[in-house]
Chains A and B, each alone.
Chain A
Amino acid sequence: MTTELTVASGRGAEPRPPRRADNDDIPPARLSWRHRLTNFDVKVSPYLYIAPFFIVFGVVGLFPLLYTAYISLFDWELGADEQPFVGLENYTYLLGDSQFWNAMVNTISIFVLSSVPQVIVAVLLAALLNTALRGRTAWRMGVLLPYVASLVALTIIFANLFGPQYGMINSILEAVGIDRIDWQAERWWSHIAIATMVNWRWTGYNALIVLAAMQAIPRDIYEAAWVDGASKARQFFSITLPLLRPTMIFVVVTSTIGGLQIFTEPKLFAPAGSNTGGAQNQYQTVVLYMYQSGFQDQDLGYASAIAWVLFIVIIAIAGINFLITRRLASTGEG
């Protein structure tokens, strides 16, 4: 988000006639034809090359988002004969819908439970990986293992591990003398279970990003601190952590955009393919509620209103993150 785009001086792209234009063998008529063709090539080609992105983004990104806003103003039921215009009624209903607020709280709760421990563990793990290990690549691959496996498969495996009756985790708890926990029925425990899946999958990945940033810190800063007699711990808190701040904010921003759209984990944590996120919606997230409203209850207008409110929340939070980053960068702290 803080990346600056600097201008590449593309001298090679300037229009110039082909070298053969100087050649006497070529008749003048053909020369000008070629010349015009080259000019056309130089002028139009760049737009042709970037066009696919803008077409695809326009058709499957921008248009659907705008059309979602349009649909959200209608009582748009799937398969109904007519879709009456209702203005902002979907939104006013949404603001008084306790299930929506419940889903919003669940989403934020799961997001906080997954992002805070994750960033802390990722930094510590990166510090361990930044030592002179034997066989560096093998260790790095090791911590990245959860990232490559398919999310659906992993969520199913974790739903099994957290199973209330025969789950592995409850067996361990019982073996050490702690009461079994109903990981699905109890709201906060279900959030912890889902956050565990997210943490398990992404901690190693984020550790590698932090590790890359750690390696970009110039060595002579550490050497100067070492000469001044700073301990390893002091170096970590006074040099490493402050210089990592931009990367940490990057990690937090990207995980915000992803984390607020969490869907697969709560969807598959429920046993029988339901969309309610537990009997009392105790772990239903906003995107899961949108899915339930749109594709189970077939109320596309209402689902669109949910999508737009979430969209605004995400953009607002990403924007706040961005402003904080800029602030930190301009005061020279980042």
Chain B
Amino acid sequence: MAVVQGRPTFVEPPSGKRSRRASKGTLSERRPGFTVYGILIAFILGSAFPFYWSFVVASHDDSEITGDPPLIPGGNFFVNAGRVLDTIPFWKALGNSIIVSGTVTLSVVILSTLAGFAFAKLRFKGRNTLMVFVVATLAVPTQLGIIPLYMTMAELGWAGNLGAVIVPNLVTAFGVFWMRQYIADAVPDELIEAARMDGCSMIRTFWHVCLPAVRPAAAMLGIFTFMMSWNDFLWPLIALDAENPTMQVALEKLQSGYYVDNSLVLAGTTMATVPILIVFLVLGRQIVAGIMQGAVKG
């Protein structure tokens, strides 16, 4: 894990370009043969198969699934989708998930950038100690504190309320750490100094100097936060109920009956997965770059 240096020079903001350029055209590299492509294609087909299978089952009548399972999609998908809408509050769950993940994402990005700015560029007593504390909390399994958290929410009357799943995630240690590392490199100290000389207040310096420079990192943090929040399951399962669920909780309710109707359940998972796959097609490049940058930077 690379050590991030805070020299007060105009460091080029980190981007995927550098490493790509470095790995191209050296003498040890040759175009890979068919074997490499073959293995990768097999791996990706394996990765995609469960999605395909989910659609196959979702597009058949449940009675057709018994015996030998079908391998090609049938024509029953919209019937099953209609049954999903009758069984669980699908649109409400979708809306709730968008509200929860959207609010959490917005809040995490703003509050993490603000804290990252302070840790990277401002001088104050206890800065380094506090930053070490933030990093240490990354290793704390806060999920294990859900029992008092539930009691607190019940006491406040928030159980069943979307606030109960939003508030605990308003800002994360990962977000603060990620933004601090980026801002230390991407925002030149001279620029901040100049803004201060011109009489900018702290918050205006943040808004006009720091924010425009950190957009790429903030966007990536936003994508990852949205995905994590969208997938959160244990705490929403405890904090919310079947009438006012997020998507993940609603899907669980779809599956928990004495008789499992496979076509119905997998129609639900297909409907919940398609929007995410579309988002992935649009933002996949950024997600890949984000994971690879996060690894190199720490």
Contacts and interface: CB of A to CB of B under 8 A. Distances in A.
A53 B142 CA distance: 14
B202 A68 contact: no
A64 B139 contact: no
Contacts of B157: none
Interface size class of A (residues with CB under 8 A): 35 or more
B149 A5 contact: no
A226 B27 contact: yes
B131 A215 contact: no
Contacts of A233: none
B148 interface: yes
B36 A208 contact: no
A223 interface: yes
A282 interface: no
Interface in A135-156: 136-137, 139-146, 148-154, 156
Contacts of B199: 18-20
Nearest to B65: A166
Given A41-B201, A141-B288, A57 B265 contact: no
Given A13-B123, A153-B269, A268-B252, A200 B47 contact: yes
Contacts of A46: 118, 122-124, 127, 202
Contacts, number: 363
Nearest to A121: B43
A159 B280 CA distance: 24
A133 interface: yes
Contacts of A242: none
A50 B130 contact: yes
A246 interface: yes
Contact of B32 (A131, A166, A271): A131
Contacts of A56: 167-168, 170-171
A65 B165 CA distance: 17
Contacts of B117: 49
A314 B43 CA distance: 32
Contacts of B123: 10, 13-14, 46
A49 B231 contact: no
A219 B142 contact: no
Nearest to B251: A152
Interface in B94-152: 111-112, 114-115, 117-124, 127-128, 130-132, 134-135, 137, 139-152
B50 A247 contact: no
Contacts of A87: none
Interface in A183-209: 200, 204-205, 208-209
Contacts of B251: 150, 152-153, 156
Given A213-B296, A300-B147, 15 more contacts: A10-B121, A10-B189, A41-B201, A52-B171, A61-B142, A139-B40, A139-B44, A148-B277, A149-B273, A150-B251, A152-B272, A163-B262, A261-B141, A271-B255, A315-B139
